[in-house]
Amino acid sequence: MTSPPDDYLQCPPKHVPGQKSSPENTEQLNRQWREGVFWALLSPVFLGAIPIFAKLAYATGADVLTVVAFRTIFAAVVLWTAVLLFARRYIYSSAPGILSSLLAGSINGVGSLFYYASLSRIDASVGQLINISYLIFVTILLRLIGHSISRLTLLRTGLAIYAIYLLTAGGLNLPDWLGAGMMLIAAFTYACQLVLSQRIMYDIPAPTMTLYAITAMAGVVTLAWLLFPVSLTAVSSAGWEAIFFMGLVTAASRLTLFLGVKKLGSLQTALLGVLEVIVSIALAILFLGEHLTAEQWLGALVLLISVLLVRYERNIPNFVDWWQFIWRWRLPKE
């Protein structure tokens, strides 16, 4: 097989610290940064609402697999409808870009099964606080593909583990370790998708990746639902309404997430995703009547400290493009 063109494997040029830039280039970088911050801050607003709709759907009698499958199907239908009507150019892309997006979406689809299964066992606010540990996983994964793991990273990981213990053991009821473990698996798969998306979107637009990633997610969760089918008549109209809104929010959250990753990179986008915790806690208190104990608030504080310490990471080497080891000998030249 022949390899794809070399320019496909090259990352676009980036500004090097200490290197002089023209006023036009500086303004372009500043504009890209502002746009990235906007999308990266908007994504957790949508993400923070998802577990609230999930808990509302569960309260109407909907089971986990039905909620996961149909909210993702609704999200995929919404995206495909919007693209077919208004932006068909985002359907077409390179084979590596589409296949990679499908892979990332499949990984996240598996994670979503664990995520919603976890929400059926633990409070939404606690679930989101545990889920925010994906930032730690993102940091570690980025180190493994070209960055050294610093002592600060190890410290932050230890803080996160301790915080998760406080969150799960400090509740009003007995700690649900199974629910916490499933949420950790979901956080890890989400981190994998973030890291993969950073490299994938060097080559394709964010809406294209969103389209195919959501499509793959829908395929994975629908397969799981077909393997363990349940009656849809048990879901009330209020339940379907909650699931439908979950689909809309899921589509919006993934699109804004990938737009943020494309502009800022996965680590900065994940760091700004801390806002997701605030959104989930506020909505859970307002609409679900949930509250945290003093020990859980301490766990939340420790976890946020662990997350925010990422800004003090130093001596990070340049990005290593491991992509070429996958595609150069696997895919024919287009």
For 23, the token pair is 């006023």
**Could you tell me if residue 218 is inside a domain?**
yes
Which is more confidently placed, 331 or 36? 36
Cα–Cα nearest to 270, from 195, 180, 206, 213: 195
pLDDT at 22 over 70: no
The pLDDT, as a whole number, for residue 243 is 93
How many beta carbons lie within 10 A of that of residue 4, not counting itself? 20
Residue 189 included in any domain: yes
Give the residue numbers spanning the domain of 102.
36-316
328 within some domain: no
> Is 9 contained in some domain?
no
DSSP for 246-257 reads: HHHHHHHHHHHH
Does residue 29 form part of some domain? no
Domain count, the chain: 1
**What tokens were used for 157?**
């990981």
User: What's phi and psi for 31, nearest 5 deg?
Assistant: -65, -40
**Residue 54 CB contacts under 8 Å (≥ 6 apart), including other chains:** 67, 71, 116, 119, 124, 242, 246
Say what the pTM is.
0.74
Q: Is residue 62 in a domain? A: yes
The answer to whether residue 279 is domain-embedded is yes
| pLDDT one-digit tens code per residue, 112-169 | 889 888 877 877 667 767 887 887 888 788 877 766 667 777 787 788 778 877 776 6
- Structure confidence at residue 2 (pLDDT): 38
Within-domain flag for 152: yes
Residue 321 burial by Cβ neighbours in a 10 Å radius (0-12, 13-18, 19+): middle
Angle between helices 124-131 and 177-200 (to 10 degrees): 50
Average pLDDT, the chain: 78
The Cβ-side half-sphere exposure at 277, using a 13 Å CA radius, reads: 22
Question: Could you tell me the two tokens for 304?
Answer: 């946020």
